[in-house]
Amino acid sequence: MTTIKDSVVLVTGGSRGLGKALVEELYERGAAKVYATARDPRAVTHPDAVPLALEVTDPASVAAVAARTPDVTVLINNAGISLGAHSLLDAPLDDVRREFETNFYGPLLVTRALVSVIERNGGGHLLNVHSVLSWLGIAGSYSATKAALWSQTNSLRLELRPRGIEVTGLHVGYIDTDMTSGIDAPKSDARDVAALALDGVEAGAHEVLADDLTRSVKAGLSGDLAALYPQLAL
């Protein structure tokens, strides 16, 4: 079982939104050190966090961060992008590729670089930030990247368990952050989601479903597709 108190955590995308909330919540729970990454580390504002420059799609950048964080016991893959490539038929293919590079290959690169570090430190935890769109194909390539990340997380859970590393996937709908500022829909508070996510880590949960929408969609996966996609019933 993972305990946040006295742990050493690396949070990708730790300068704003959910990542910033996770950094704050980690320190509230007594983490010994939190590395917060961003493309521009000057964007990391928490006074106690250790800011690090990271581009998750660049293997050299990932390797440099891994070399500077030899004490990590918990990795949180939070960094991600949405370019609005909602049509798989019409969106620029470069946008589709960029979303996959960041949302799927990015977490994989960081995980591969940090697994041996966490293992040397006696084991620990991996938290991957997914989305309710892991299970709803309504956002084009973004949905596809999150579905792929969900599958990646499930596979890593099986691979890492024998190495003393537990894995949790966080699924959530809209969070009240800069990314969703233009969306008129119910949104969760980032600190509430961060607290639920870390509750799940400390409880050893395989998945955290952070809101009613996410719980409803997950439950609906066993039913007819028309229940999730009403347009199919027309």
Q: Which residues are catalytic?
A: 142
What whole-number distance in Å separates Cα of residue 16 and Cα of residue 227? 35
What whole-number distance in Å separates Cα of residue 168 and Cα of residue 208? 7
Q: How wide is the angle at C-alpha 92 spanned by C-alphas 90 and 97, nearest 5°? A: 120
Q: Look at residues 105, 129, 152 and name the one whose alpha carbon lies nearest to residue 200.
A: 129
Residue 169 CA: distances (Å) to CA of 97, 147, 161, 172, 211: 23, 12, 14, 10, 14
What whole-number distance in Å separates Cα of residue 22 and Cα of residue 128? 12
Max Cα–Cα distance, the chain, nearest Å: 56
Cβ 53 vs Cβ 61: under 8 Å: yes
What whole-number distance in Å separates Cα of residue 61 and Cα of residue 64? 5
Backbone CA torsion sign across 205, 112, 104, 162: negative
Q: 190-211 as b/e, with b when 16 or more CB fall inside 10 Å?
A: bbbbbbbbbebbbeebebbbbb
What residue type is 218 in one-letter code? K
